Amino acid sequence: MPKSLLASSAKKKFEALYPEGGPGRHIKSRLKNNELLVGLTLNEYARPSLVKMYQRANIDFMYIEYEHGLFNMSNFADTILSARDNGLPVISKTPQLERQEISKLLESGVIGIQLPRTESRDQILELYDYIKFPPKGSRAIAPGYGNSDYLNPEDKSSWIIEQDLETTLVVHIETKTGYHNAESIISTTGVDMVYVGPADFSVEMGQPWNFDHPDVIKPMEEILALCKKHHVPFGTSAFDINNATSWITKGTQFFLGPNELDFISSGATDFVNSYRKISRNQ
């Protein structure tokens, strides 16, 4: 097949998956329309097969735990491409606020960069600078990678504009300092999503894993109220369906769900326990 027809075919498939123009614009458009989005996490087993299983579970986006997770980077890049090809926008933590790490994530095809331990407006401004092209920021142009599905855009000026619309800045508040500076952080121009990690947040608030404690719930509710005030989608992780229902009622727009290790562990445990129960009842 001629190169031009291959490019045209790939473009049509991409447009069918992302009618808003791309995975980043797709997820932001859905949040703007007040849809509830549910993402599942990738912690270690970066494989296209896992993407297919997540996609069949009808998730809205894939979240990569790249702060703590250990990955073979070739598999990592293949998995991100597979997610894009299957209509799953990818949000990833960056291990640290560092230009090279963030650039590699963006060039691999990640659309959302989540900054762990977000604590100041200056951090947001630095991250924004890294993910946007001049004149908005200082991102270096590198088309033809996963960021453009390995198609070399003919109109690079338009591609730059589109990429700036694609890239998604995700705040991650999980410390007391982040909580105290929440309004300054959330009100910063360029913030697209705000996530509060309840596990580390509960530890910081002196109530480890006690997610229902007022010292944890009330500060999270204050952050949610600030998100509503500044029209920024708020998200968190729920520890059960009742907790999720409560947060949805309050106005939560997205959730980061469990990871593949959780699913394997719980599935294996349930299977073995079911047989142990049969044995004990004989």
Beta bridge mates, 136: none
Phi, psi of 14 (to 5 degrees): -60, -45
pLDDT of residue 3: 47
pLDDT of residue 186: 98
Domain ranges of the chain: 23-281
Alpha-carbon gap, residue 99 to 91, rounded angstroms: 17
The one-letter code for the residue type at 65 is E
DSSP 65: -
Q: Is the peptide bond before 135 cis (omega within 30 degrees of 0)?
A: yes
pLDDT of residue 273: 93
pLDDT of residue 10: 65
- Longest Cα–Cα distance in the chain: 73
The pTM of the full predicted model, rounded to 2 decimals, is 0.92
Reference 199, options 263, 246, 243, 231; nearest CA is 243
pLDDT by residue, tens only, the chain of 282 residues: 344 544 566 667 777 778 878 999 999 999 999 999 999 999 999 999 999 999 999 999 999 999 988 888 888 999 999 999 999 999 999 999 999 999 999 999 999 999 999 999 999 999 999 999 999 999 999 988 989 888 888 899 999 999 999 999 999 999 999 999 999 999 999 999 999 999 999 999 999 999 999 999 999 999 999 999 999 999 999 999 999 999 999 999 999 999 999 999 999 999 999 998 886 666
CATH architecture group of domain 23-281: Alpha-Beta Barrel (3.20)
Alpha-carbon gap, residue 103 to 142, rounded angstroms: 9
* Tokens 């990592």 sit on residue: 76
Alpha-carbon gap, residue 277 to 251, rounded angstroms: 41
pLDDT of residue 2: 45
